[in-house]
Amino acid sequence: MSIRPLVHSLIVPVLGLSLAGIASHPALAEGDASSSRGTVNINQATSTEFARLPRVGAKLADRIVAHRTQHGAFKRAEDLMEVKGVGEKKFASLKPYLSVSGPTTLTQKVASTGSRGGSKSKAKGKKPSATQALK
């Protein structure tokens, strides 16, 4: 049983340092990632401002503005899923950037992280070479 105190004396300080590092990180310590990233007020934003959001292009941005014009202001951010083209997955990626009040503070286009996987360098329909098939 002499190993247990040794393990305990090594793990606790390392774990403590890891947690201290997380707590000292400004974005994580705050708990509100949107304040450091910028937000888009979905009740006032223009089509151009919507297009700054990840995975939102000009067509979807226009659809969001048209929906807001026809149906009135969004009561909550989740109401954005009523717009054609905004499903649960897309909404989940947009949620940190959305607000229903206050100013729009997002000034730059947010890069998408790509959800489809796969490599763009592979040509469609090509069979792998003999050396690639062996790997």
Q: What is the pTM of this model?
A: 0.60
Give pLDDT tens digits for 59-108. 999 999 999 999 999 999 999 999 999 999 999 999 999 999 999 999 99
Q: Which residue has the higher pLDDT, 26 or 129?
A: 129
Residue 28 confidence (pLDDT) above 70? no
pLDDT band at residue 27 under the 50/70/90 scheme: very low
Specify if 96 maps to a domain. yes
| 60/83 Cα distance (integer angstroms) | 9
Sign of the Cα torsion 40, 43, 49, 50 reads positive
Question: For the ranges 35-49, 99-113, 119-133, which has the lowest average pLDDT?
Answer: 119-133
pLDDT at residue 37, rounded to an integer: 78
Specify if 57 maps to a domain. yes
Specify if 25 maps to a domain. no
Specify if 81 maps to a domain. yes
The domain that holds 101 is classified in CATH as 1.10.150.310
| 41/20 Cα distance (integer angstroms) | 34
Quote the mean pLDDT of the chain. 77
Specify if 61 maps to a domain. yes
Count of structural domains, the chain: 1
At 97, phi and psi to the nearest 5? Answer: -100, 0
Specify if 77 maps to a domain. yes
Q: Are 52 and 58 in contact (CB under 8 A)?
A: no
| 61/110 Cα distance (integer angstroms) | 14
Domain of 49 in residue numbering reads as 45-105
Quick one: which of 96, 92, 90, 34 has its CA closest to 61?
90
